[in-house]
């Protein structure tokens, strides 16, 4: 199935603690149907310093944890509204389509 949500999309979070937040999609985990959204679902991890390897420092680090793709809605790049995504084939290419304004985009 083609991806409704892609990296660099703007999305609206519609469920969970961060409901109402918007952000850019940083990563898509296709196998798990999850996405990582900038500034959304921040979790803290207590990290031990590691003398070897990548020179990790200890302390509390914060990072975005993945959220399920069904908990976000694409914000249409054309009309700027949260929308469901459809697909249309144009000139042999499968494009995404905003269900609200019918605009198509990659
Ligand atoms: Zn639209």
* CA 86/CA 76 separation, integer angstroms: 12
Residue 77 is assigned to a structural domain of this protein = yes
The residue range of the domain holding 71 is 10-105
Residue 39 is assigned to a structural domain of this protein = yes
Please calculate the CA angle 97-98-102 and round it to the nearest 5 degrees: 80
Residue 35 is assigned to a structural domain of this protein = yes
User: 85 C-alpha vs ligand 1 centroid, how far in Å?
Assistant: 9
Residue 16 is assigned to a structural domain of this protein = yes
Residue 14 is assigned to a structural domain of this protein = yes
User: 33 C-alpha vs ligand 1 centroid, how far in Å?
Assistant: 23
Q: Kindly tell me if the per-residue pLDDT of 51 is higher than 80.
A: no
User: 94 C-alpha vs ligand 1 centroid, how far in Å?
Assistant: 17
By mean pLDDT, which of 1-10, 26-35, 62-71, 97-106 is the weakest? 1-10
User: 53 C-alpha vs ligand 1 centroid, how far in Å?
Assistant: 47
pLDDT, residue 53, reads: 67
CATH of residue 31: 2.30.30.30
pLDDT, residue 21, reads: 98
User: 79 C-alpha vs ligand 1 centroid, how far in Å?
Assistant: 4
Residue 1 is assigned to a structural domain of this protein = no
pLDDT digits (tens, 9 = 90+) for 74-95: 999 999 999 999 999 999 999 9
Number of domains in the chain: 1
Task: Tell me the backbone φ, ψ of residue 32, rounded to 5 degrees.
Answer: -100, 0
């Amino acid at each position: 199935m083609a991806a409704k949500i892609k990296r660099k999309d703007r999305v609206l979070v519609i469920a969970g603690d961060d409901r109402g937040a918007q952000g850019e999609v940083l990563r898509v985990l296709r196998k798990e149907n999850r996405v990582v959204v900038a500034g959304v679902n921040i979790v803290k991890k207590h990290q031990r310093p590691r003398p070897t390897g990548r020179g990790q420092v200890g302390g509390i680090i914060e990072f975005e944890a993945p959220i399920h793709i069904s908990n976000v809605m694409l914000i249409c790049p054309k009309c700027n509204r949260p929308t469901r995504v459809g697909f249309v084939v144009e000139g042999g290419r499968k494009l995404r389509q905003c269900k609200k304004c019918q605009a198509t985009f990659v």
